[in-house]
Chain A
Amino acid sequence: MNECEHARRLSAYHDGEVTGAEREALESHLAQCPACAAELARLRRLSNLLTQAERAEMPAGVLDRLHRSADDLAAADLRRVAKAFLTAAASILLICGIWLWQANGAAEPAEAIPVWESLAAHQQVLADGSEERLAQWIIQDLERKNGHE
Protein backbone atom coordinates (compact mmCIF):
# COMPACT_ATOMS: atom_id res chain seq x y z
CA MET A 1 0.00 0.00 0.00
CA ASN A 2 1.36 3.37 -1.04
CA GLU A 3 1.55 5.52 2.08
CA CYS A 4 2.87 8.62 0.32
CA GLU A 5 0.93 11.77 1.23
CA HIS A 6 0.44 12.54 -2.47
CA ALA A 7 -1.19 9.17 -3.18
CA ARG A 8 -4.74 10.41 -2.55
CA ARG A 9 -4.52 12.82 -5.48
CA LEU A 10 -3.28 10.21 -7.93
CA SER A 11 -6.79 9.00 -8.64
CA ALA A 12 -7.89 12.50 -9.69
CA TYR A 13 -4.67 13.02 -11.64
CA HIS A 14 -5.28 9.75 -13.47
CA ASP A 15 -8.78 11.03 -14.41
CA GLY A 16 -7.44 14.33 -15.75
CA GLU A 17 -9.22 16.21 -12.99
CA VAL A 18 -6.13 17.94 -11.60
CA THR A 19 -5.06 21.06 -13.43
CA GLY A 20 -2.67 23.97 -13.31
CA ALA A 21 -0.04 24.31 -10.62
CA GLU A 22 -1.17 21.20 -8.75
CA ARG A 23 -0.84 19.10 -11.88
CA GLU A 24 2.70 20.35 -12.42
CA ALA A 25 3.58 19.67 -8.78
CA LEU A 26 2.26 16.10 -9.01
CA GLU A 27 4.14 15.41 -12.21
CA SER A 28 7.31 16.67 -10.57
CA HIS A 29 6.62 14.41 -7.58
CA LEU A 30 5.92 11.36 -9.77
CA ALA A 31 9.37 11.71 -11.29
CA GLN A 32 10.86 11.34 -7.80
CA CYS A 33 8.50 8.89 -6.03
CA PRO A 34 8.62 5.26 -7.21
CA ALA A 35 5.66 4.30 -4.99
CA CYS A 36 3.39 6.92 -6.57
CA ALA A 37 4.65 6.12 -10.07
CA ALA A 38 3.85 2.43 -9.47
CA GLU A 39 0.39 3.29 -8.13
CA LEU A 40 -0.37 5.46 -11.14
CA ALA A 41 0.63 2.56 -13.38
CA ARG A 42 -1.72 0.24 -11.43
CA LEU A 43 -4.56 2.78 -11.80
CA ARG A 44 -4.07 2.76 -15.56
CA ARG A 45 -4.03 -1.05 -15.67
CA LEU A 46 -7.17 -1.14 -13.52
CA SER A 47 -9.04 1.26 -15.83
CA ASN A 48 -8.01 -0.83 -18.78
CA LEU A 49 -9.18 -4.00 -17.01
CA LEU A 50 -12.53 -2.47 -16.08
CA THR A 51 -13.33 -1.84 -19.74
CA GLN A 52 -13.82 -5.60 -19.95
CA ALA A 53 -16.78 -5.51 -17.57
CA GLU A 54 -20.07 -6.76 -18.96
CA ARG A 55 -22.05 -4.03 -20.68
CA ALA A 56 -25.68 -4.97 -21.11
CA GLU A 57 -27.31 -4.50 -24.50
CA MET A 58 -30.85 -3.20 -24.24
CA PRO A 59 -33.32 -5.66 -25.76
CA ALA A 60 -35.69 -4.24 -28.39
CA GLY A 61 -38.70 -5.13 -26.28
CA VAL A 62 -37.49 -2.83 -23.51
CA LEU A 63 -37.34 0.13 -25.88
CA ASP A 64 -40.85 -0.63 -27.15
CA ARG A 65 -42.20 -0.71 -23.62
CA LEU A 66 -40.44 2.55 -22.78
CA HIS A 67 -42.08 4.24 -25.77
CA ARG A 68 -45.50 2.92 -24.75
CA SER A 69 -44.89 4.30 -21.28
CA ALA A 70 -44.01 7.67 -22.78
CA ASP A 71 -47.35 7.69 -24.61
CA ASP A 72 -49.18 6.74 -21.41
CA LEU A 73 -47.43 9.55 -19.54
CA ALA A 74 -48.44 12.08 -22.20
CA ALA A 75 -52.05 10.85 -22.23
CA ALA A 76 -52.27 10.99 -18.44
CA ASP A 77 -50.85 14.51 -18.51
CA LEU A 78 -53.49 15.58 -21.06
CA ARG A 79 -56.26 14.13 -18.91
CA ARG A 80 -54.88 15.95 -15.88
CA VAL A 81 -54.71 19.26 -17.76
CA ALA A 82 -58.21 18.78 -19.20
CA LYS A 83 -59.60 17.99 -15.77
CA ALA A 84 -57.95 21.08 -14.29
CA PHE A 85 -59.33 23.20 -17.15
CA LEU A 86 -62.86 21.84 -16.72
CA THR A 87 -62.72 22.40 -12.98
CA ALA A 88 -61.56 25.98 -13.52
CA ALA A 89 -64.25 26.57 -16.15
CA ALA A 90 -66.94 25.16 -13.87
CA SER A 91 -65.74 27.38 -11.04
CA ILE A 92 -65.85 30.45 -13.27
CA LEU A 93 -69.35 29.56 -14.46
CA LEU A 94 -70.51 29.07 -10.89
CA ILE A 95 -69.06 32.39 -9.80
CA CYS A 96 -70.63 34.16 -12.79
CA GLY A 97 -73.94 32.51 -12.05
CA ILE A 98 -73.89 33.65 -8.46
CA TRP A 99 -72.87 37.15 -9.50
CA LEU A 100 -75.65 37.38 -12.09
CA TRP A 101 -78.23 36.07 -9.62
CA GLN A 102 -77.21 38.65 -7.08
CA ALA A 103 -77.04 41.41 -9.70
CA ASN A 104 -80.57 40.62 -10.96
CA GLY A 105 -81.89 40.73 -7.47
CA ALA A 106 -80.59 44.28 -7.13
CA ALA A 107 -81.01 45.20 -10.82
CA GLU A 108 -84.30 47.03 -10.62
CA PRO A 109 -83.80 50.39 -9.14
CA ALA A 110 -85.89 51.12 -6.13
CA GLU A 111 -89.10 52.48 -7.42
CA ALA A 112 -89.17 56.17 -6.92
CA ILE A 113 -91.42 57.11 -4.10
CA PRO A 114 -94.35 58.77 -5.71
CA VAL A 115 -94.33 62.42 -4.99
CA TRP A 116 -97.69 62.28 -3.40
CA GLU A 117 -96.52 59.62 -0.95
CA SER A 118 -93.61 61.59 0.32
CA LEU A 119 -93.91 63.07 3.75
CA ALA A 120 -93.13 66.53 2.40
CA ALA A 121 -95.95 66.31 -0.14
CA HIS A 122 -98.29 65.04 2.52
CA GLN A 123 -97.43 67.93 4.71
CA GLN A 124 -97.93 70.29 1.75
CA VAL A 125 -101.38 68.87 1.06
CA LEU A 126 -102.30 69.21 4.68
CA ALA A 127 -100.89 72.73 4.69
CA ASP A 128 -102.76 74.10 1.74
CA GLY A 129 -105.56 71.59 1.68
CA SER A 130 -105.03 71.22 -2.05
CA GLU A 131 -106.63 67.95 -2.96
CA GLU A 132 -106.45 69.03 -6.53
CA ARG A 133 -102.70 69.15 -6.29
CA LEU A 134 -102.74 65.70 -4.76
CA ALA A 135 -104.82 64.42 -7.67
CA GLN A 136 -102.37 65.95 -10.15
CA TRP A 137 -99.48 64.20 -8.45
CA ILE A 138 -101.28 60.87 -8.58
CA ILE A 139 -101.97 61.34 -12.29
CA GLN A 140 -98.36 62.32 -12.97
CA ASP A 141 -97.15 59.29 -11.09
CA LEU A 142 -99.44 56.94 -13.03
CA GLU A 143 -98.36 58.55 -16.34
CA ARG A 144 -94.72 58.03 -15.35
CA LYS A 145 -95.33 54.38 -14.65
CA ASN A 146 -97.19 53.90 -17.91
CA GLY A 147 -94.26 55.51 -19.70
CA HIS A 148 -91.84 52.83 -18.27
CA GLU A 149 -93.98 49.90 -19.42
Chain B
Amino acid sequence: MTEESGQVEPADVMLLERARNGDVSAFHDLVDRHAARLFRTAVSLLGNASDAEDVLQETLAGAFRGLRAFQGLASVKTWLTGILVRQVAMHRRRAGRQEARLIRLQAIEPVPPDVPAATGRVDTRLDVTAAIRSLASDHRDVIVLRELEGLSYDEMAEALGVPRGTVESRLFRARRRLQELLKGYLD
Protein backbone atom coordinates (compact mmCIF):
# COMPACT_ATOMS: atom_id res chain seq x y z
CA MET B 1 0.00 0.00 0.00
CA THR B 2 1.14 3.56 -0.61
CA GLU B 3 0.20 6.73 1.12
CA GLU B 4 -1.02 9.86 -0.55
CA SER B 5 -2.24 12.87 1.44
CA GLY B 6 -2.43 10.70 4.54
CA GLN B 7 -4.87 8.25 2.92
CA VAL B 8 -3.71 4.69 2.51
CA GLU B 9 -4.49 3.26 -0.94
CA PRO B 10 -6.00 -0.21 -1.02
CA ALA B 11 -3.65 -3.05 -1.81
CA ASP B 12 -3.85 -4.67 -5.23
CA VAL B 13 -5.39 -7.78 -3.70
CA MET B 14 -8.20 -5.73 -2.15
CA LEU B 15 -8.94 -4.05 -5.48
CA LEU B 16 -9.00 -7.44 -7.18
CA GLU B 17 -11.37 -8.81 -4.55
CA ARG B 18 -13.72 -5.86 -5.07
CA ALA B 19 -13.52 -6.28 -8.82
CA ARG B 20 -14.30 -9.98 -8.43
CA ASN B 21 -17.43 -9.00 -6.48
CA GLY B 22 -18.64 -6.77 -9.30
CA ASP B 23 -17.04 -3.42 -8.44
CA VAL B 24 -16.09 -2.17 -11.91
CA SER B 25 -14.38 0.94 -10.51
CA ALA B 26 -11.94 -1.34 -8.67
CA PHE B 27 -11.04 -3.01 -11.97
CA HIS B 28 -10.49 0.44 -13.48
CA ASP B 29 -8.14 1.22 -10.57
CA LEU B 30 -6.14 -1.93 -11.32
CA VAL B 31 -5.89 -0.80 -14.96
CA ASP B 32 -4.58 2.59 -13.84
CA ARG B 33 -1.99 0.98 -11.61
CA HIS B 34 -0.60 -1.62 -13.98
CA ALA B 35 -1.32 -0.55 -17.56
CA ALA B 36 1.80 1.57 -18.08
CA ARG B 37 4.14 -1.12 -16.79
CA LEU B 38 2.39 -3.84 -18.80
CA PHE B 39 2.45 -1.69 -21.94
CA ARG B 40 6.17 -1.00 -21.50
CA THR B 41 6.85 -4.71 -21.03
CA ALA B 42 4.74 -5.64 -24.05
CA VAL B 43 6.61 -3.17 -26.29
CA SER B 44 9.94 -4.57 -25.08
CA LEU B 45 8.78 -8.11 -25.82
CA LEU B 46 7.07 -7.44 -29.15
CA GLY B 47 9.00 -4.52 -30.56
CA ASN B 48 6.16 -2.16 -31.46
CA ALA B 49 3.41 -0.18 -29.74
CA SER B 50 0.56 -1.33 -31.97
CA ASP B 51 1.04 -5.00 -31.20
CA ALA B 52 1.67 -4.11 -27.58
CA GLU B 53 -1.73 -2.40 -27.30
CA ASP B 54 -3.49 -5.35 -28.94
CA VAL B 55 -1.86 -7.76 -26.53
CA LEU B 56 -2.62 -5.49 -23.60
CA GLN B 57 -6.31 -5.44 -24.53
CA GLU B 58 -6.29 -9.24 -24.59
CA THR B 59 -4.45 -9.26 -21.27
CA LEU B 60 -7.15 -7.15 -19.63
CA ALA B 61 -9.88 -9.34 -21.07
CA GLY B 62 -8.05 -12.40 -19.75
CA ALA B 63 -7.63 -10.78 -16.35
CA PHE B 64 -11.32 -9.87 -16.19
CA ARG B 65 -12.40 -13.36 -17.09
CA GLY B 66 -9.87 -14.82 -14.66
CA LEU B 67 -10.81 -12.70 -11.63
CA ARG B 68 -12.67 -15.55 -9.98
CA ALA B 69 -9.79 -17.96 -10.60
CA PHE B 70 -7.16 -15.77 -8.92
CA GLN B 71 -6.03 -17.64 -5.84
CA GLY B 72 -3.61 -15.12 -4.34
CA LEU B 73 -0.64 -17.50 -4.56
CA ALA B 74 1.23 -14.88 -6.58
CA SER B 75 1.04 -11.11 -6.38
CA VAL B 76 -1.41 -9.31 -8.64
CA LYS B 77 1.59 -7.83 -10.48
CA THR B 78 3.03 -11.29 -11.20
CA TRP B 79 -0.42 -12.65 -12.09
CA LEU B 80 -1.01 -9.89 -14.63
CA THR B 81 2.51 -10.30 -16.01
CA GLY B 82 1.84 -14.01 -16.47
CA ILE B 83 -1.33 -13.28 -18.45
CA LEU B 84 0.60 -10.76 -20.56
CA VAL B 85 3.40 -13.24 -21.27
CA ARG B 86 0.89 -15.87 -22.41
CA GLN B 87 -0.86 -13.36 -24.64
CA VAL B 88 2.49 -12.35 -26.12
CA ALA B 89 3.21 -16.03 -26.84
CA MET B 90 -0.17 -16.42 -28.55
CA HIS B 91 0.45 -13.28 -30.58
CA ARG B 92 3.83 -14.59 -31.67
CA ARG B 93 2.34 -17.91 -32.73
CA ARG B 94 -0.28 -16.08 -34.78
CA ALA B 95 2.44 -13.97 -36.35
CA GLY B 96 4.39 -17.18 -36.93
CA ARG B 97 6.62 -17.12 -39.95
CA GLN B 98 6.18 -13.38 -40.32
CA GLU B 99 7.70 -12.86 -36.85
CA ALA B 100 10.63 -15.16 -37.63
CA ARG B 101 11.44 -13.27 -40.81
CA LEU B 102 11.33 -9.91 -39.03
CA ILE B 103 13.65 -11.10 -36.27
CA ARG B 104 16.19 -12.36 -38.81
CA LEU B 105 16.07 -9.02 -40.60
CA GLN B 106 16.59 -7.21 -37.31
CA ALA B 107 19.50 -9.39 -36.19
CA ILE B 108 22.59 -7.31 -35.76
CA GLU B 109 26.26 -8.06 -36.05
CA PRO B 110 28.37 -7.72 -32.91
CA VAL B 111 29.70 -4.20 -32.45
CA PRO B 112 33.28 -4.29 -33.87
CA PRO B 113 35.86 -3.97 -31.10
CA ASP B 114 37.56 -1.01 -32.76
CA VAL B 115 34.39 1.10 -32.57
CA PRO B 116 34.65 3.33 -29.53
CA ALA B 117 32.11 2.47 -26.90
CA ALA B 118 29.42 4.97 -25.90
CA THR B 119 29.62 6.99 -29.15
CA GLY B 120 26.47 8.71 -28.01
CA ARG B 121 23.56 8.01 -25.76
CA VAL B 122 21.19 7.70 -28.71
CA ASP B 123 23.45 5.17 -30.45
CA THR B 124 23.82 3.19 -27.25
CA ARG B 125 20.10 3.11 -26.66
CA LEU B 126 19.42 1.98 -30.21
CA ASP B 127 22.13 -0.68 -30.13
CA VAL B 128 21.01 -2.04 -26.77
CA THR B 129 17.35 -2.09 -27.83
CA ALA B 130 18.18 -3.77 -31.12
CA ALA B 131 20.33 -6.36 -29.35
CA ILE B 132 17.48 -7.30 -27.00
CA ARG B 133 15.00 -7.51 -29.87
CA SER B 134 17.34 -9.73 -31.83
CA LEU B 135 17.34 -12.38 -29.11
CA ALA B 136 15.30 -15.55 -29.47
CA SER B 137 11.91 -15.04 -27.84
CA ASP B 138 12.57 -17.16 -24.74
CA HIS B 139 15.86 -15.31 -24.12
CA ARG B 140 14.24 -11.95 -24.79
CA ASP B 141 11.47 -12.72 -22.28
CA VAL B 142 13.83 -13.43 -19.38
CA ILE B 143 16.07 -10.45 -20.15
CA VAL B 144 13.10 -8.08 -20.29
CA LEU B 145 11.46 -9.46 -17.17
CA ARG B 146 14.70 -9.56 -15.16
CA GLU B 147 16.81 -6.67 -16.41
CA LEU B 148 14.06 -4.22 -17.36
CA GLU B 149 11.19 -5.13 -15.03
CA GLY B 150 13.15 -6.45 -12.04
CA LEU B 151 11.15 -9.61 -11.43
CA SER B 152 12.67 -12.23 -9.13
CA TYR B 153 13.42 -15.73 -10.38
CA ASP B 154 10.35 -17.07 -8.57
CA GLU B 155 8.14 -14.37 -10.09
CA MET B 156 9.53 -15.08 -13.53
CA ALA B 157 9.01 -18.82 -13.11
CA GLU B 158 5.39 -18.14 -12.11
CA ALA B 159 4.78 -15.72 -14.98
CA LEU B 160 6.47 -17.86 -17.63
CA GLY B 161 5.08 -21.14 -16.32
CA VAL B 162 8.50 -22.79 -16.22
CA PRO B 163 10.70 -24.15 -13.42
CA ARG B 164 13.04 -21.78 -11.63
CA GLY B 165 16.01 -23.68 -12.99
CA THR B 166 14.83 -22.98 -16.53
CA VAL B 167 14.68 -19.26 -15.75
CA GLU B 168 18.25 -19.37 -14.49
CA SER B 169 19.66 -21.27 -17.45
CA ARG B 170 17.84 -19.08 -19.98
CA LEU B 171 19.19 -15.96 -18.29
CA PHE B 172 22.70 -17.39 -18.31
CA ARG B 173 22.55 -18.09 -22.07
CA ALA B 174 20.76 -14.85 -22.89
CA ARG B 175 23.40 -12.81 -21.10
CA ARG B 176 26.21 -14.69 -22.86
CA ARG B 177 24.56 -13.84 -26.20
CA LEU B 178 24.11 -10.18 -25.27
CA GLN B 179 27.74 -9.98 -24.18
CA GLU B 180 28.70 -11.12 -27.69
CA LEU B 181 26.36 -8.65 -29.38
CA LEU B 182 27.37 -5.70 -27.22
CA LYS B 183 31.03 -6.47 -26.55
CA GLY B 184 32.05 -3.17 -28.07
CA TYR B 185 30.35 -1.52 -25.11
CA LEU B 186 31.54 -3.98 -22.50
CA ASP B 187 35.23 -4.50 -23.15
Binding site for B on A (CB under 8 A): 1, 8, 11-12, 15, 17, 42-43, 45-47, 49-59, 62-63, 65-67, 69-71, 73-74, 77
Inter-chain contact A46/B125, CB cutoff 8 Å: no
CB distance from A6 to the nearest CB of B (A): 12
Inter-chain contact B147/A70, CB cutoff 8 Å: no
CB distance from A28 to the nearest CB of B (A): 21
Q: How far does the alpha carbon of A43 sit from the alpha carbon of B178 in the complex, in Å?
A: 10
Pick the contact of A52: B24, B52, B124, B175 (CB < 8 A): B124
Query: Does B143 make an interface contact (CB < 8 A)?
Result: yes
**Residues of chain A contacted by B56 (CB below 8 angstroms):** 62, 66
Inter-chain contact A69/B24, CB cutoff 8 Å: no
A–B complex contacts, Cβ < 8 Å, 25 sampled: A11-B168, A12-B153, A15-B171, A42-B186, A46-B182, A49-B185, A50-B128, A50-B147, A53-B128, A53-B129, A56-B44, A58-B36, A62-B56, A63-B31, A63-B32, A63-B35, A65-B57, A66-B57, A67-B31, A69-B61, A70-B27, A73-B60, A73-B61, A74-B24, A77-B64
Binding site for A on B (CB under 8 A): 24, 27-28, 31-32, 35-36, 39-40, 43-44, 49, 52-53, 56-57, 60-61, 64, 121, 124-126, 128-129, 132, 143, 146-148, 152-153, 168-169, 171-172, 175-176, 178-179, 182, 185-186
Which residue of chain B is the closest to A72 with respect to CB atoms? B61
The B contact surface, by secondary structure, is helix
**Residues of chain B contacted by A63 (CB below 8 angstroms):** 31-32, 35-36
**Residues of chain A contacted by B43 (CB below 8 angstroms):** 56
